Amino acid sequence: MADLQAFLERAAAVYPDHTAVIHGTLSRSYAELYTRSRRLASALARRGIGRGDTVSVMLANTPAMLDAHYGVAMTGAVLNALNTRLDAAVLAFTLDHAETKVLITDREYSKAIQEALSLTETDLDQRRGSVLVRHGKNDRRREVGMDTWGWSALEPWLTDRSQLPVGPLFCVIDGPTRGRAWSASAARIELHRVALKAGVRRRFAPHQLRHAHAVELLHEGIALPLIQRQLGHSYLSTTGTYLQGIDTEEIISTVHARRAPMMHASAGLEL
């Protein structure tokens, strides 16, 4: 990637007026190619694209494709050149699997791209009430549910997030790295700060929120296998361990309040 950028930079400095691109009647010099590539890189960087991100392009073998090869590389991102002969279903899978952050397409392929985008998975689907976990425990991919209250709490942030550079949902909001991923350590620090502000004096760990979520679901009568799937546990016994936080008095009062059985347990033996 560095060699690619160095080649174009040197060619533009040493041979600025030499022909770099010929496409039909169009001709561009190395200086022009370098300028166009830098403009593309700058535009991508302003939208939060950086090292390790994926930029997908749906372009024919045109000068624009050459601009993309150099411009994307200048940001440190990965170029994912889509095959223009693929159908919408395969394009949708490719875009999703590549975790595309930005898509550049020629208007010639707008129909196929529109169809593909309508088929791609979305991380947040408010209509279904689902959240896509791309890298969960053991890097497993799964969908989980989120209730109406959760969506209402998230909506203001979704509005604010749309004004920031392209990137993860939870991101840095200030400074030169705005739009980039919010680190786990920074999230833990913020949660500790909020916990103290709320009057929580005992030691607090973010993982306790999963335990609390499991207990609340059980209180609401949700079946244990569904709680297991929501938490992404491979084994039901793991989910059972999460539920050990239920207070002993609650267990006693719940069992004590049970209604009498319809018939005595020994009645079946007498029949």
Question: Is-above-0.75 flag for pTM?
Answer: no
Tell me if 158 sits within 8 A of 145, measured CB to CB. Answer: no
Give residue 133's region: left, alpha or beta (phi > 0; psi -120 to 50).
beta
Q: What 3-state class would DSSP assign to 101?
A: strand
- H helix and E strand count, the chain: 12, 8
CATH assignment of 125-256, among 3.90.1150.10, 1.20.120.530, 1.10.3720.10, 1.10.443.10: 1.10.443.10
Q: What is the DSSP secondary structure assignment for residue 245, as one 8-state letter? A: G
Please give the CATH architecture assigned to the domain spanning 2-120: 3-Layer(aba) Sandwich (3.40)
CA distances 79 to 53, 73, 89, 90, 123, Å, are 9, 7, 20, 18, 22
Q: Digits of tens for pLDDT over the chain (271 positions)?
A: 557 778 898 999 999 999 999 999 999 999 999 999 999 999 999 888 888 899 999 999 999 999 999 999 999 999 999 999 998 888 988 998 888 999 999 999 999 998 888 777 678 888 888 888 877 777 788 888 888 888 888 889 888 888 877 677 888 888 887 877 888 888 888 888 888 888 887 777 778 888 888 888 888 888 888 888 888 888 888 888 877 766 666 666 666 566 665 555 555 555 4
DSSP sequence for 4-57: HHHHHHHHHHHSTTSEEEEETTEEEEHHHHHHHHHHHHHHHHHTT--TT-EEEE
For residue 81, list its beta bridge partners: 57
Query: What are the residue boundaries of the structural domains of the chain, listed by start?
Result: 2-120, 125-256
Tell me if 20 sits within 8 A of 32, measured CB to CB. Answer: yes
